[in-house]
Amino acid sequence: MGKRHEGKVSLITGASRGIGRAIAERLAAEGSDVVLAARTEAACEPVAEAAAAHGVRTMNLALDVGDADSVKAGVKAALDEFGQVDHLINNAGITRDDLLLRLKDDAWDAVLKTDLTGVFLCSRAVLRSMLRRRQGRIVSISSVVGLMGNAGQTNYAAAKAGVHGFTKALAREVASRSITVNAIAPGYVESDMTDGLTDDIKQQLQEQIPLGRMGSGEDIAGVVSFLLSDDAAYMTGQVLSVDGGMYM
Ligand SMILES: NC(=O)c1ccc[n+]([C@@H]2O[C@H](COP(=O)([O-])OP(=O)(O)OC[C@H]3O[C@@H](n4cnc5c(N)ncnc54)[C@H](O)[C@@H]3O)[C@@H](O)[C@H]2O)c1
C-alpha cells in the first residue's frame, strides 16, 4: 500500500474495534502514526500491535469523548507525545434504540452526549493546534440514519444529523486556515453495533441496499483515507454517503 499519510499523526476515536479499528489499521498501513482512543487503553492494544507492524508510532488513549476533561487531557497527552495532530477522525458512537414513546431520558442523553457532544469536544480540543499550523483534517463518522431517519432511532438520527450541521458550520469557520471538515454517512456496516440484528432484519436491510450487501469497515476506511489525502484538498463541508446506494 502507498504511504500517502507518512509523517502525519491521526487521532481516531472508538479505535478499539469495528469501523474505528479498520480506519486505524488503514491509516497506519498508509504511513500515519496513530493515536488510538477508546474507553479503555487495553481495548486498543491489539489494534496498536497491528498498526505498529506497519512501522508507525502508536499511542493508546483511554478517553470518554463525551467528557470535556477527559478529552482535554487525552488530546494534551497526544500533543505532548507527537507534537501535532494532523487528522482527527470522530468515529466513537453508540446506539440506545427505542420507539419515542418508550425512549428513556438517559437513552436520549447518552446518545447525544457520545455521538454529538463528543464530536464537538474532540474537534475543539484539536483545533487550536491545527489553526496554529494552518493545516488539519477533521472527518466525522455519522450515519445514513442522520440523512433518512429510522424508526426507533430518534436519538441517534438527531445526533447524526447534528453532526452534519456541525460539520458545515465548522468547515466555514476554519476554511481560511486550510483546515477541512467533512463527514461520512455509512449505511449498514458489519460490526459489534450491527451484530445484534436478527437474520430476518439483516435480510430486510440487504434488500434496501442497491449494491446488495452490508458494508465492511474497510469500505469506510478507504473513503476516510481519501478525505485525508491531498486528492481531497478542495473538499470541505461535505457529507459523503458510503452506503451501497441506500440513500440517493
Ligand atoms: N455499524 C454500522 O452499521 C454503522 C453505520 C453507520 C454509522 N456507524 C457509526 O460508525 C461509528 C463506529 O461504529 P461501529 O459500528 O464500529 O461501532 P462499535 O460499537 O463496534 O465501536 C464503537 C467504538 O466507539 C467506542 N466508544 C463508544 N463510546 C465511547 C466514548 N464515550 N468514548 C470513547 N470511545 C467510545 C467504543 O469503545 C468502540 O471502540 C459510530 O459513530 C457509528 O454510529 C456505524
Q: Is 247 a catalytic residue?
A: no
Q: How much is the pLDDT for 79?
A: 98
Sign of the Cα pseudo-torsion (75, 76, 78, 83, in order): positive
Look at residue 177 and give its three-state secondary structure: helix
Ligand 1 centroid–CA 241 distance in Å is: 17
- Distance from C-alpha of 37 to C-alpha of 15, rounded to nearest angstrom: 6
Burial (CB < 10 A; 0-12, 13-18, 19+), residue 202, is middle
**Does the beta carbon of 91 sit less than 6 angstroms from any atom of ligand 1?**
yes
C-alpha to C-alpha distances, 170 to 94, 113, 143, 209, 236, nearest whole angstrom: 23, 19, 19, 31, 10
Ligand 1 centroid–CA 77 distance in Å is: 22
CB distance 221 to 141 below 8 Å = no
Amino acid at 190: E
Q: Residue 134 corresponds to which cell in the numbers above?
A: 494552518
Query: What tens-digit pLDDT sequence spans the chain (248 residues)?
Result: 899 999 999 999 999 999 999 999 999 999 999 999 999 999 999 999 999 999 999 999 999 999 999 999 999 999 999 999 999 999 999 999 999 999 999 999 999 999 999 999 999 999 999 999 999 999 999 999 999 999 999 999 999 999 999 999 999 999 999 999 999 999 999 988 788 888 888 888 889 999 999 999 999 999 999 999 999 999 999 999 999 999 99
Q: Any idea of the CA torsion for 128, 72, 56, 82, to the nearest 10 degrees?
A: 60
Class of domain 9-237: alpha beta
Strand partners, 215: 189
Ligand 1 binding pocket mutation candidate from 40, 91, 195 (most atoms within 8 A of CB):
91
CB distance 47 to 71 below 8 Å = no
**Does the beta carbon of 155 sit less than 6 angstroms from any atom of ligand 1?**
no
Burial (CB < 10 A; 0-12, 13-18, 19+), residue 235, is middle
Q: How much is the pLDDT for 197?
A: 82
**Does the beta carbon of 110 sit less than 6 angstroms from any atom of ligand 1?**
no
Neighbours of 102 (CB within 10 A): 9
